[in-house]
C-alpha cells in the first residue's frame, strides 16, 4: 500500500492504518473506485488504456461492490465506468505513466510512492478528483500526504485536478459526464455564452447513454471553453518543513502497534468520508470474514 495512504489514514484515526493493513473492506466507496480504475488505465501498456480503466471499474463493482445507498447500482456502475474511461482518455495521450522508485526515510524505512513521474521525470504528479476546485480544496490538497510526497522526494509535484461536479443520486453533475443537446440542431453544449441556463426544450444527456464519442465530447468541451474549468494543473513546490521525520514518527507508531488502537468515533460516520470499518468499530467489534471483510495475507506487521 502507498505510504501516503497509510499516513492519511492515521491522521484521521489511529486505528485505521492498523485495520487497513490487515483487512480488505467488503465494498469500495465510489471515489476510491474512480481513483483505482483511473490508475489502472494510466499505468496500463494497452493502446486503449481507457478500456482498461473502464473494465477495472466494472471488476471492482462486481467483485467488491460499490459502497453506495443507491438502489440502481448497475446504473451507478455504468456512470462511473463512463467517467473513468473519459478521464483516462484525456490524461493518456501518450505512453503509460510511471512511478518513481521507492526511497528510504532517515532510518531506512522504505517510502512506497503513490505519485507518478512527470514526462520529463524532473518532478512528480498526482491526480486529484474533486467536486469543485476552490481555495479551500487547494489548501486541503496541498497538505495531503499524497502531495507532501513531493517534499519527501525533494522535487515539486503537479496536481492534475479533475473537477467532477457535485454527486447527486449516484451521478456526477459536471461537464465530464453531463451535457445538453439542442432540440433541433442536436448540438452538444455545456454552457451558454450569455451565462443563462438552458431552456426546457434542451435535452439533458449523460455521456454513458449519449451517442457522442469520446473525441466528440472532448471537442465540444473545448469549443464551449469548458475544458480549462474541469482539467487544471496546480504546481506545489517543495515544502520547507522536514516532512521526512514527521512521516517517520507516524510510521513508527503504526509499526509498533501490536493491537488495534482506540478508534476515533467522531470520524466513523463522517458525511463526506465515512469510514469503511463503520459497520464494526462503533460496536466494539473486530472485522471478520463473517461480516464480509477479507483478511489480507501479506505481512501486516512490517513497515507500510
Domain-wise residue ranges, the chain: 3-167+230-295, 176-217
Q: Per-residue pLDDT averaged across 126-135, rounded?
A: 97
* pLDDT per residue as tens digits for the range 243-291: 999 999 999 999 888 888 888 888 888 887 888 898 888 888 889 998 8
Cell of 11: 491522521
- β-partners of residue 130 are 163
CA 145 to centroid of chain Cα atoms: 14
CA 178 to centroid of chain Cα atoms: 20
End-to-end CA distance of the chain: 6
Q: State how far the Cα of 44 lies from the Cα of 272, in Å rounded to an integer.
A: 30
- β-partners of residue 111 are 103
pLDDT-derived band at 65 (thresholds 50, 70, 90) equals: very high
How many residues make up the chain in this entry?
304
Q: State how far the Cα of 118 lies from the Cα of 110, in Å rounded to an integer.
A: 21
| pLDDT at residue 303 greater than cutoff 60 | no
Check residue 301 and give its pLDDT: 47
With pLDDT > 90 as the criterion, what percentage of the chain qualifies? Answer: 76
Match 515544502 to its residue by C-alpha cell: 239
Q: State how far the Cα of 57 lies from the Cα of 81, in Å rounded to an integer.
A: 6
| pLDDT at residue 18 greater than cutoff 50 | yes
| Contacts with 175 (C-beta within 8 Å, 6 or more apart), sequence order | 165, 190, 221, 226, 229, 230
* pLDDT per residue as tens digits for the range 183-218: 899 999 998 776 677 878 899 999 999 999 999 999
| pLDDT at residue 233 greater than cutoff 50 | yes
| pLDDT at residue 299 greater than cutoff 80 | no
pLDDT-derived band at 304 (thresholds 50, 70, 90) equals: very low
With pLDDT > 70 as the criterion, what percentage of the chain qualifies? Answer: 97
The overall average pLDDT reported for the chain is: 92
Amino acid at each position: 500500500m502507498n505510504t501516503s495512504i497509510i499516513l492519511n489514514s492515521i491522521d484521521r484515526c489511529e486505528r485505521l492504518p492498523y485495520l487497513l493493513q490487515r483487512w480488505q473492506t467488503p465494498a469500495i466507496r465510489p471515489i476510491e473506485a474512480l481513483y483505482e480504475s483511473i490508475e489502472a488505465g494510466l499505468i496500463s501498456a494497452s493502446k486503449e488504456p481507457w478500456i482498461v480503466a473502464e473494465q477495472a471499474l466494472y471488476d471492482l463493482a462486481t467483485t467488491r461492490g460499490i459502497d453506495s445507498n443507491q438502489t440502481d447500482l448497475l446504473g451507478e456502475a455504468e456512470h462511473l465506468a463512463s467517467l473513468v474511461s473519459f478521464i483516462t482518455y484525456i490524461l493518456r495521450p501518450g505512453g503509460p505513466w510511471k512511478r518513481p522508485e521507492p526511497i528510504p526515510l532517515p532510518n531506512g524505512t522504505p517510502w512506497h510512492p503513490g505519485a507518478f513521474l512527470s514526462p520529463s521525470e524532473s518532478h512528480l504528479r498526482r491526480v486529484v478528483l474533486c467536486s469543485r476546485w476552490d481555495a479551500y480544496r487547494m489548501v486541503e490538497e496541498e497538505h495531503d500526504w499524497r502531495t507532501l510526497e513531493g517534499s519527501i522526494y525533494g522535487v515539486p509535484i503537479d496536481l492534475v485536478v479533475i473537477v467532477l461536479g457535485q454527486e447527486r443520486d449516484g451521478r456526477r453533475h459536471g461537464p465530464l459526464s453531463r451535457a445538453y443537446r439542442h432540440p433541433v440542431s442536436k448540438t452538444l453544449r455545456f454552457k451558454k455564452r450569455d451565462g443563462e441556463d438552458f431552456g426546457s426544450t434542451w435535452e439533458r444527456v449523460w455521456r454513458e447513454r449519449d451517442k457522442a464519442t469520446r473525441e466528440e465530447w472532448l471537442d465540444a468541451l473545448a469549443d464551449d471553453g469548458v475544458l480549462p474549468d474541469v482539467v487544471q494543473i496546480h504546481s506545489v513546490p517543495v515544502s520547507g518543513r522536514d516532512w521526512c521525520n514527521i512521516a517517520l514518527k507516524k510510521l513508527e507508531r503504526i509499526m509498533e502497534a501490536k493491537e488495534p488502537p482506540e478508534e476515533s468515533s467522531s470520524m466513523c460516520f463522517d458525511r463526506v468520508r465515512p469510514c469503511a470499518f463503520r459497520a464494526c468499530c462503533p460496536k466494539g467489534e473486530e472485522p471478520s470474514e463473517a461480516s464480509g471483510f477479507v483478511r489480507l495475507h501479506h505481512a501486516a506487521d512490517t513497515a507500510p
